[in-house]
Structure 1
Amino acid sequence: MSEETILELKDLSIQFIGKQVLNQINVKIKRGEIIGYIGPNGAGKSTTVKIILGLLSDYKGDVIVFGENIRDHPVDYKRRIGYVPENGEIYDDLTATEYIHFIGQMYGMGLEQIEQKFTALLDKFELKAVRHARIATFSKGMKQKLLIIASLIHDPDLIFFDEPLAGLDANSVMIIKEMMDQLAKAGKTIFYSSHIMDVVEKISDRILLLNQGEVMADGSFMELKAKNKEGTLEQIFNQLTGFDQHEQTATDIVRIIQGADQHE
């Protein structure tokens, strides 16, 4: 892993309608790291990514990407970034080919280069038969594969994957996990956000746990495990975020479903 800093957040803070969503986040990310970025819903994960991508500008602090402050260079750095959002909007009326041609050209790629890469990737993602079909006819898993292709077609250096395995079959999940590992070894930096803790635990070089807008933990899984009483990442997550009611809540739900309370 390189010592080169690819991304740095300095005292990053933001408020929405008086609520502090991020509170002075300070993080340095190196080239070739796979960062597991986790936290409860509303912790500020998506907000952080949107700021880095330049989708939110009303923040305090600094975001340094590829050595440049994005306030000073708000466009050029985006050509080196790939992004798969959790609920990715996609142009359903386009065919797969039209969509990828559009995305590739936005990143400054020539049509010949796009077509060469796209044809090869379609084969590997088992989408070759639907390259000219409307995206509206695709299953969730097929759309997810297309979003992953779109995020990687331009060979980005910094990649944000927000729940990238959603809708994928078991074989595709294994391929994507292995692909992320190989991309990192090739010097790509990956932000991986997911609620599937065992996947985050296995693939991440480093885990950032965000809660109520603050970094509660930062380190490898083994480092986090050494500092906390619990053993799995899911247990550490629950411990650090103060959530210890899952057993009782599940029991209550089962009782309600079974109508147990009505017979007491």
Structure 2
Amino acid sequence: MLKIANVTKSYNKGEIKAVNNINLDIKPGEIFGFLGPNGAGKTTTIKMIVGLLKPDNGSIKVGGVDVWKESIKAKSMISYVPDNPEIYDKLKGIEYINFIADMYEIPKEKRKEKMNYYLEMFNIKDAIGDIIGSYSHGMKQKLVLTSALISEPELFILDEPMVGLDPKSSFNLKEVMRKMCEEGKTVFFSTHVLEVAEKICDRIAIISKGEIIAMGTMEELRSHSKEKKSLENIFLELTE
């Protein structure tokens, strides 16, 4: 579903290599965790996948579609929730969701059904008529998640999705992620909450200083350690 081949991204005329020749091949039906310390290249990689940053070299394909050669077609298969959502504070919540739904050309009956489902799930239905500028950080995160999910994306990309969510909403989001993968869709997410990644990910990649230093299932990652360690211990051992 997502194939990244020999992708590199540099800044300052090549002086800073944020991502250095990485390769990932993520299949339909996977929850894939993308982990790394601050500044390791996680967000840069995600921004290249969704078409916000152009790689210096290499290719990125979503469902066989090149993200840069056929950008609209590729983006139609993706929903993206960034680590710090920038949304329109002067719009009402319902206006924002309809704006996103219009971009994805979601029929009105279908959007209404999906909207109600996720607004109930994230417990923000009562606030949907309010101006977004009045929302807390957590409410904005729930609004962005709702707008991202109503398109039923083939590839759901999240950067630190649990930040600002209450425990029930976090639980519900994890359930949604698993259900999507049972339907053959793909979830790619970055997180610092390693316990969550350990519990729900089918496979995990660890990036450090722009390079993939480990990748595989939890059992495969543990095989690189002398002891059967937790993901947290493996992560610290590999990134020190």
Q: Would you call these one fold, judging by a TM-score over 0.5?
A: yes
Instruction: Specify the alignment match of 1:194 in structure 2.
Output: 191
The one-letter code sitting in structure 2 at the alignment partner of 1:192 is: F
Instruction: Specify the alignment match of 1:13 in structure 2.
Output: 8
Let me know the Cα RMSD of the aligned residues: 1.3
Instruction: Specify the alignment match of 2:166 in structure 1.
Output: 169
Q: SS where residue 184 of structure 2 aligns?
A: coil
Alignment of 1:57 with 2:64, yes or no, is no
Counterpart CA distance in 1 for 2:76 and 2:57 is 24
Does the 8 Å CA contact 2:34/2:190 hold for their aligned counterparts? yes
Q: Percent of aligned pairs with the same residue?
A: 42
* Cα shift at 1:52: 1.0
Deviations 1:103-143 (A, max 9, x none): 11011223343233212322222112111111111122211
Q: Which moved more, 1:189-198 or 1:229-238?
A: 229-238
* Cα shift at 1:70: 2.2
Pick aligned residue for 1:22 from 19, 24, 37 = 19
Return closer, same or farther for 1:58/1:220 CA change in 2, 3 Å cut-off. Answer: closer
Does the 8 Å CA contact 1:105/1:111 hold for their aligned counterparts? no
Instruction: Specify the alignment match of 1:3 in structure 2.
Output: none
Instruction: Specify the alignment match of 2:78 in structure 1.
Output: 81
Q: Which structure ranks higher in relative contact order (CA pairs < 8 Å, sequence separation ≥ 6)?
A: 2
Give matches, 1:53-202, under 5 Å: 53-202=50-199
The one-letter code sitting in structure 1 at the alignment partner of 2:189 is: Y
> What are the ranges of 5 or more consecutive residues in structure 1 without an aligned counterpart?
1-5, 243-264
Q: SS where residue 71 of structure 2 aligns?
A: coil
Counterpart CA distance in 1 for 2:101 and 2:34 is 27
Does the 8 Å CA contact 2:3/2:26 hold for their aligned counterparts? yes
Aligned residue pairs, count: 237
The one-letter code sitting in structure 2 at the alignment partner of 1:234 is: E
Bigger Rg, which one? 1
Instruction: Specify the alignment match of 1:234 in structure 2.
Output: 232
Alignment of 1:222 with 2:219, yes or no, is yes
Please give the TM-score of this superposition, normalised by the length of structure 2: 0.95
Does the 8 Å CA contact 1:35/1:191 hold for their aligned counterparts? yes
Q: Which moved more, 1:218-227 or 1:66-75?
A: 66-75
Deviations 1:162-215 (A, max 9, x none): 111111111111111121111111111011111011111111000000001110
Counterpart CA distance in 1 for 2:110 and 2:62 is 26
Counterpart CA distance in 2 for 1:125 and 1:14 is 36
Counterpart CA distance in 1 for 2:141 and 2:37 is 23
Q: SS where residue 165 of structure 1 aligns?
A: coil
* Cα shift at 1:69: 2.1
> What are the ranges of 5 or more consecutive residues in structure 2 without an aligned counterpart?
none
Instruction: Specify the alignment match of 1:45 in structure 2.
Output: 42
Counterpart CA distance in 2 for 1:229 and 1:172 is 37
Counterpart CA distance in 1 for 2:24 and 2:68 is 18
The one-letter code sitting in structure 2 at the alignment partner of 1:106 is: M
Counterpart CA distance in 2 for 1:58 and 1:120 is 37
